[in-house]
Amino acid sequence: MKAVCWHGKHDVQVDNVPDPKVLNPRDAIVKVTLSAICGSDLHLYNGYIPTMKKGDILGHEFIGEVVEVGSGVKNVTRGDRVVVPFPIACGDCWYCQHELWSLCDNSNPNAWMMEEIYGDTGAGIFGYSHLYGGYAGGQAEYVRVPFADVGLEKIAPGLKDEQVLFLTDIFPTGYQAAEQCNIHQGDTVAVWGAGPVGLLAMKSAAHMGAAKIVAIDKNPERLEMAFNHCQAETLNFEEDDVVEALHSMTGGRGPDSCIDAVGMESEGIGMEAVYDTVKQTLRLESDRPIALRQAIKACRKGGTISIPGVYGGFVDKMPMGVVFAKGLTMKAGQTNVQKYLRPLMQMVEKNEIDPSFIITHRMSLDEAPQGYKMFAQKQDGCVKIVLNPQA
């Protein structure tokens, strides 16, 4: 079969690889009907996750049709159209039993690596390096889905692939980011990053009753999408003094909640410096537009900082004094996709939110290398690229 494989920094290629097989009784094989490139894939593409190997199959946002199941699979069967959550969860461990599927203790065969780095385990993730279990991803014609009984959600009849694809990751991620803010009617929510995650966080915040939404980015097409689709006011972090502008938009108080939908590739961090302890101090210059630092500075006292943006290692020296002085709440983490799948699919069915508005480019699998380049450089008005492996 064909699959999008990682070959090194800024180098993805479409390779012919062996078809996946059922390896465990709880596995299913899914024929991928639609897949997407995620901002998280850019961390791999840009070479920031050191646990990738040449030939690893990419992709953690995909849906498809079940074509084969192992003998132990009961909830799905051949022919079912399914959404596959990006975190792999066993369903049996303490975390899964407490509905914290994205923190599963049993789904990452390389948990030791995670423990060595972070002092604790983390769930396996499709197509997301050996640190997350080394699972083959879904930017491919077929994919093996372990623990197929846990979390796979059958697609309601009548819903199109493009309407449900983002339930795999970025819609729950945007939704969880907004939910973590505990939004009250009339709140102001500021969102750093008007990429797919930021836009879906804005959409969710509006749905939860936020009266004012402020989108912060530099990319004009993305800010325009935030304005047109999410009724957001916009700030360009290259032109505006973001913290000052947010204070003056909120009568001097600051937004009630701030969402960092940028993460470790925030402009101003200088990722090269992350691995270079000598240069780490560079990141402390306060005039740099580091999303998280600005969010902490801008947020009103008693407000919430919600961090869907991905961080690894020591990316920003945290101004803990400000967090303490202002009594801020901070929440972060891999999205607990399984928790949101069903309710969010029902919202799509009722036409309350259609997350497909973010799609700007549709490509075949063969065009993926060009797609990665375009998405990484935010060229050609690119917000979200979907790949059709069967085209």
Which parts of this chain interact with Zn ion (CB under 5 A)? 38, 40, 61, 169
For ligand NAD, the binding residue among 22, 34, 38, 113 (CB under 6 A) is: 38
Q: How far is the CB of 181 from ligand NAD (least distance, A)?
A: 14
Could you say whether residue 175 binds ligand NAD (CB under 6 A)?
Answer: no
Q: How far is the CB of 156 from ligand NAD (least distance, A)?
A: 23
For ligand NAD, the binding residue among 48, 62, 132, 192 (CB under 6 A) is: 192
Query: Encoding tokens for residue 300?
Result: 């009103």
Could you say whether residue 146 binds ligand NAD (CB under 6 A)?
Answer: no
Q: How far is the CB of 147 from ligand NAD (least distance, A)?
A: 18
Q: How far is the CB of 358 from Zn ion (least distance, A)?
A: 13
Could you say whether residue 132 binds ligand NAD (CB under 6 A)?
Answer: no
Could you say whether residue 39 binds ligand NAD (CB under 6 A)?
Answer: yes
Separation of alpha carbons 309 and 39, rounded Å: 9
Could you say whether residue 268 binds ligand NAD (CB under 6 A)?
Answer: yes
How many Cα atoms sit within 13 Å of 177 on the Cβ side?
35
Task: Count interface residues toward ligand NAD (CB under 6 A).
Answer: 35
Could you say whether residue 103 binds ligand NAD (CB under 6 A)?
Answer: no
Whether the CB-CB separation of 114 and 191 falls below 8 Å is answered with no
Could you say whether residue 340 binds ligand NAD (CB under 6 A)?
Answer: no
For ligand NAD, the binding residue among 106, 334, 338, 360 (CB under 6 A) is: 334
Residue ranges binding ligand NAD (CB under 6 A): 38-40, 42-43, 169-170, 173, 192-198, 216-219, 222, 237, 261-263, 266-268, 289-291, 308-310, 334-335
